[in-house]
Homo-oligomer: A and B are copies of this chain.
Amino acid sequence: MDKNCEFGYRAWLQPGKSLVVPDYTFSGDDGFALKELKRGLAKMNENGHGVIDLSVTSDLVPQSYTITGSLEDVVIKGGCEAGLLYGVYGFVARLHQGHTDFNVVEKPVAAKRILNHWDNITGKIERGYSGNSLFFKDGKVGYNLKRLEDYARLLASVGINEISINNVNVTTESAKLITDYLPDVVKIADVFRPFGIRLIISVHFESPAILGGLETSDPLDAEVASWWKKVAAHVYKAIPDLAGFLVKADSEFRAGPMTLGRTQAEGANVIAAALAPFGATVYWRCFVYNCMQDWRDTATDRPKAAYDYFYPLDGQFDDNVIIQIKHGPSDFQVREPNSPLLGNMDKTRQGIEFQVTQEYTGQQKDLYALAVQWEEIFDHPVTDKANTRELIGNKIEAVVAVANVGDDTNWTGHLLAQANLYAYGRMAWNPNLTAEEVTREWAMLTFGADPAVINPIVDMVLKSRSVYEKYNAPLGIGWMVNINHHYGPSVDGYEYMKWGTYHRADTTAIGVDRTTAGTGYTSQYHPHVQAMYENKETCPEEILLYFHRLPYDYKLKSGQTLIQYIYDTHFEGVEGVEGFIKTWESLKGLLPEEAYTPVKARLQLQLTNAIEWRDVINSYFYRKTGSLDAKGRKIYT
């Protein structure tokens, strides 16, 4: 590797050359965890002597760990091999954060902390902004084993314990991962296994027809059921610890059980029955909606779809099915309410799905701290009794996210987008961590302990979500993006299309009324939550346009009219990016050139994007309303 790229490649696992630690001897468990510990301690300067004892103990629950003692005498215990490994990574991370005494008790809140890769077998990554796939190349499985091992370490160090390797949009070719390509998948599983990471394979719902040559993939067909069983037996013989299969069905032109007149539950269960003997799980995505809506149809309302399709099926899914619910009812927009399905199906196992890859949030050209958004999502109520944070580890047993990595040397394209991958693992492990805490951890592990460096970076990253939101679509209305690639503004881009995403702006008002007086979407929530969103006064203002149609002269709590709010925020968004550039320039000389220069270039790109958003949004609303900015700033008429 080019020496200039090592910094980005190591990410938050930087060698600790500036740290001084005792010259350790080791006792206890001498397996994989010890190897990883020695690697983590390499390049640190030694002073004095110390001992570290490693052990796996049934006193601790699986995956958990404790670290006790002082710098010279450390005891790390794990509830299983993986738990011990987490303890080792946690210990090294704490050294980097200056800890010298340890009284750590850690247990992951969510049992399943999953990354979904949307990697195509072509080698391209759907919604990938960091190069090509680490798993596939030129139409087949293809990888660099050393790099996969480094990737596994990166993920394990933040507690990820399952990964799906191929895109949920499974093609005829990638469907063969469970047949022809299985021997290659075995090799990938072998790399990730020591790191406590189990693989998931995305499967094609029509595999019985595509791979098995059956006439149907109808889940109620006996031959289909027996085909899935036969294939599952074959797969689990090769990879006994495979975590399961992930399925996107009846979604965005993909076939599914509904195509065949069956329910989502029937579709999931036929696969679940095949996986059950192996203790494996079907992850069944709930991203089902009508993507051929007529824009003239104001009765259909896309956010209602997942709940409408899935809620009535509560109790019908097999025990080894986890339904995988996008955190919001739209599609990873900058601001959405939480999905009303979350926590609301008593008899159905649930996972919550996030997107670390920045599809609608800057595509790793623009800085965007997802941790800040996740913290807010965790805060949001989903039932009358609980917010999302409280559900995780309880009703919601799996936390899932679409990965943001590719074969760019620094993994994530934008160096600072590493913060999102780091934060995802940490917050899936412990949703009680704040965005500030995980961002500061990441910054210290990446850039070292100097507050003069860390504080400005943490500050900038934490602000980035708000800045991005300011120059994007206002008040939670979403979707004002260029079609297909989803970068940059196009206010009417999706307005007259079939995707069900409309703002319906006219000369006087904007938005869709989703209250009970409108499409009735709010009635999918528990009464208290519904009441909050139903009423303009109690609806959180930052999401007002998700629920209400408002006139441009609507007065916000600040006293601004809606139209003036749009103008103000869009000017402020650009100023925010200009602020980031100043901040970053102030760090020149304090950061490795390899970090400084490419991030500076991305911030300049972001400024161009922010200006484009500002001017397009402002011009659009000027041209629709005839209102100019009250402060006389430039709007292109």
Contact = CB atoms under 8 A, between A and B. Distances in A.
A151 B128 CA distance: 45
Interface stretch (A139-147, A222-230, A487-495, A512-520): A487-495
Contact of A623 (B507, B622, B626, B637): B507
A344 interface: no
A508 interface: yes
Interface in A592-637: 612, 615-616, 619-620, 622-626, 636-637
Contacts of A624: 506-507, 623-624
A506 B626 contact: yes
Number of copies: 2
Contacts of A489: 496
B623 A506 contact: yes
A270 interface: no
Contact of A491 (B295, B492, B626): B492
Contact of A296 (B295, B615, B623): B615
Interface string A306-337: 00000000000000000000000000000000
B492 A296 contact: no
A630 to B, nearest CB: 17
A115 interface: no
A127 to B, nearest CB: 19
A125 B295 CA distance: 32
B626 A508 contact: yes
A505 interface: yes
B296 A636 contact: yes
Which of A496, A616, A624, A637 has the most chain B CB atoms inside 10 A of its CB?
A496
Interface in A489-542: 489-492, 496, 504-508
Interface in A465-484: 483
Contacts of A295: 636
Contacts of A636: 295-296
A623 to B, nearest CB: 4
A483 B490 CA distance: 11
A496 to B, nearest CB: 5
B622 A506 contact: yes
A507 B508 CA distance: 11
A504 B624 CA distance: 11
A492 B505 CA distance: 13
A506 B615 contact: no
A624 B496 CA distance: 15
A447 to B, nearest CB: 37
A130 B8 CA distance: 50
A616 B497 CA distance: 10
A549 to B, nearest CB: 11
A483 B625 CA distance: 25
Contacts of A483: 483
A483 B637 CA distance: 22
A297 to B, nearest CB: 9
A496 B623 contact: no
Nearest to A615: B296
B507 A496 contact: no
A574 to B, nearest CB: 14
Nearest to A617: B496
A166 to B, nearest CB: 27
A441 to B, nearest CB: 40
A637 B502 CA distance: 12
Given A615-B296, A636-B296, A626 B492 contact: no
A612 B616 CA distance: 25
A496 B636 CA distance: 11
The 7 residue pairs across chains A and B that have the minimum distance between CB atoms: A506-B623, A507-B626, A492-B492, A296-B636, A496-B616, A507-B507, A624-B624
Interface of A: 295-296, 483, 489-492, 496, 504-508, 612, 615-616, 619-620, 622-626, 636-637
10 contacts: A296-B615, A489-B496, A490-B496, A492-B492, A496-B612, A496-B616, A506-B626, A507-B507, A507-B624, A624-B624
Given A295-B636, A496-B616, 4 more contacts: A496-B620, A506-B626, A507-B625, A508-B626
